[in-house]
Structure 1
Amino acid sequence: MSMFYDLEIDRMKSAREAFYKYYQFPFTASAIKTYSTDGDLRVFDLIYALIEGKLELASTGAEPLFQAAWYYNYSAIDKLNGKFNFPCLIIYLFGAHIGFAGAVWTDTPHVQVLCPVLPLFYHQTDTKMRERAARCFGAAKKAIIRKLKILYERLDFERDPPINFESSPSEGLEHLTLP
């Protein structure tokens, strides 16, 4: 990952190999209809983790976080049934930086950056940055392996949702009035 790459495809191949070697994340470049991801993890054709990268920030027409958010949106929209909110971890890379974001469906898709973008060129004696990076990578590993994958594997689309997402938040509150 610390090399210079002329092509995004080579950089992302190296990133997928590194994530597999060190974290056992088998990211696979695949298609979502007419779009191609740099890598994703799926259960039952449902994406629970995405990786998207660029050679540099602002070097192409789309930024990696927004492009991954679009892929997430596009992959989940056909599967929406009011019974599940499709959480997904997004890992985005640009230049010598990495970021982590979470995505989830409520009534619309929501994407939230989970930690500051991490520079991958910090000095080995910078213990604060090393600790921050270790915590972010550790949290990503826990989220993907111990939580999201298991959640998706146990998914039951026949079960009724515990909350009716179709109703308005103010429904049933007609008796409350403001002074």
Structure 2
Amino acid sequence: MKPGIVNACEGLAFVKASKGGLGVTMARGHGFVIRKLDQDRFGNSRWSAPVYFYVSQMGIGLSAGYETSESIIALMSFSSVMHFVAGHSVMGTDLGLMSTEGAMSGVPAGTFGRNSHMDVQADNTSASFCYSLSQGLLANVSITGTGTHPDKVLNDKLYGEGTLLADVLQGKTDTWHEMHTLYRQIADTGRKALM
């Protein structure tokens, strides 16, 4: 991921998904999203605790194969981050060997090896940059529908039943020690843009 994107983004979503099919494609995955709370002039950022979500997708068209992907999606607007709290569904298109559905859907783009792509929403107000590592091969030309929804059971277990997930992403809930390694790696990436 380019360091400048880390500094410019509002949030980051981390997704692991599996996708496959023959004619009809199905994808399932899960992940978490964090929001940047503030950033100093040296590239040091403070991040929210994670909100966990799951994704599902179904497509109809010409497809064959199977792939698994691990992706990071740089969310460039506040509303993009909050989509993961509310849950939403989108329609998209998969073409050739590379998925081109909106990165906002939560299902990563992927081919073999490394891949990156940009998605601009229909209203052209927010771009999302998706970076994926994929294994397998999926040839796909299909129309897809994707749903992204918060993982209520896991979020309730972590933050307590009734906790508003929007408050978690606003920084009103403390994160935990195990996340600090990830936050340090993100900060190191962001500082490279300022050198």
TM over 0.5: no
Q: TM-score, length-normalised on structure 2? A: 0.24
Q: TM-score, length-normalised on structure 1? A: 0.25
Q: Which has the higher strand share?
A: 2
